[in-house]
Amino acid sequence: MTKIALVTGASRGAGRGIARGLGELGYTVYVTGRTIQPGNATGWDGSVLPGTVAETAAEVTKAGGKGIAVVCDHGDDAQVAALFDQIMREQGRLDILVNNATYIHHQLIEKKPFWEKEVEAVGILDVGLRSAYVASWHAAKIMTKQGSGIIAFGSSFGGSCYMHGPAYGAQKAGLDKFAHDMEHDLRGTGVVTVSIWMGPLITERSAIASQTNPEQYEAFIKTAENPEFTAHIIDAIDKSAQRDELSGQTLIAAEIAQTLGVTDRGATRPSYREMLGSPHPKNPAAVY
């Protein structure tokens, strides 16, 4: 049976690579984004970034899966509801949700205190945090009925250390908490949830960042992960005999990959735990 996945925010960047990685594993992948023609996303140097949902879908198909492009603004709940209705109408199931859609403010990596950046930087709490909750809400309704599935959140070490300012950090910490608390509600349903701390990724924006701020990013980029690596990790978690134990955890990609025998195009990637911090452990306490 072909598995069905949804990767949100997949016009470019991490989402595009994750969708492509699931395509390599033979998934049918719904890819969402707002970009029909390049122009609405720019790099740190102001240049227009490439990538559209249609291009990503074509790459998924070329990689060995089946890509289906859906133009969707994850800041619009009605569009998100229509997306999940479409998936159920066309496929009748959903096996993987990867919450990746995120608002990226143009000042994100500027070395300024948050009050010297535009207040619009807080948009990451709308498309990035709230949007992940809404998508997970829809996915959980589908997955619990079928008795299987995995809801994954694309997070980072910014959930623990200072990274790109408080709005970015709050969004990543919030995703980690979503995974933790949703596991409590999903326990026993066959549906699991995890938050993945990805390392530096090879994306269109990171390539520009390494040129814009070489002293900050040059060393990281040398050991950067391909975003397809994250897709292969999520698939391995879902297939693992440890999936219930892993559910609710925030996992460092490089570390769980070694545990599950997943490599990044044959390479083992470093963990930045000692440098950037550790995820919070699962807390067994529950208050209603």
pLDDT in tens, the chain (288 residues): 899 999 999 998 899 999 999 999 999 999 999 877 765 665 555 666 667 999 999 999 999 999 999 999 999 999 999 999 999 999 999 999 999 999 999 999 899 999 999 999 999 999 999 999 999 999 999 999 999 999 999 999 999 999 999 999 999 999 999 999 999 999 999 999 999 999 988 766 655 555 556 665 566 667 789 999 999 999 999 999 999 999 999 999 999 999 999 999 999 999 999 999 999 999 999 999
123 CB-contact burial (10 Å; exposed 0-12 / middle 13-18 / buried 19+): middle
The whole-number pLDDT of residue 214 equals 62
Active-site residue among 27, 30, 103, 168?
168
Inter-residue contact 282 to 249 (CB < 8 Å) = yes
User: Which of 71, 62, 79, 49 is CA-nearest to residue 19?
Assistant: 62
The pLDDT score that the predictor gives to residue 44 is: 53
What pLDDT score does 162 carry? 98
Say what the pLDDT of residue 12 is. 85
- pTM check: above 0.85: yes
In whole angstroms, give the CA distance from residue 89 to residue 92: 6
- pLDDT, tens digit, 9 for 90 and up, residues 117-147: 999 999 999 999 999 999 999 999 999 999 9
Give 35's strand partners.
none
Amino acid 224: pLDDT: 85
pLDDT tens-digit map of 163-195: 999 999 999 999 999 999 999 999 999 999 999
Per-residue pLDDT at 201: 84
The residue with tokens 């026993």 is 188
- Residue 168 appears among annotated catalytic residues: yes
Burial-class residue 136 by CB neighbours within 10 Å (0-12, 13-18, 19+): buried
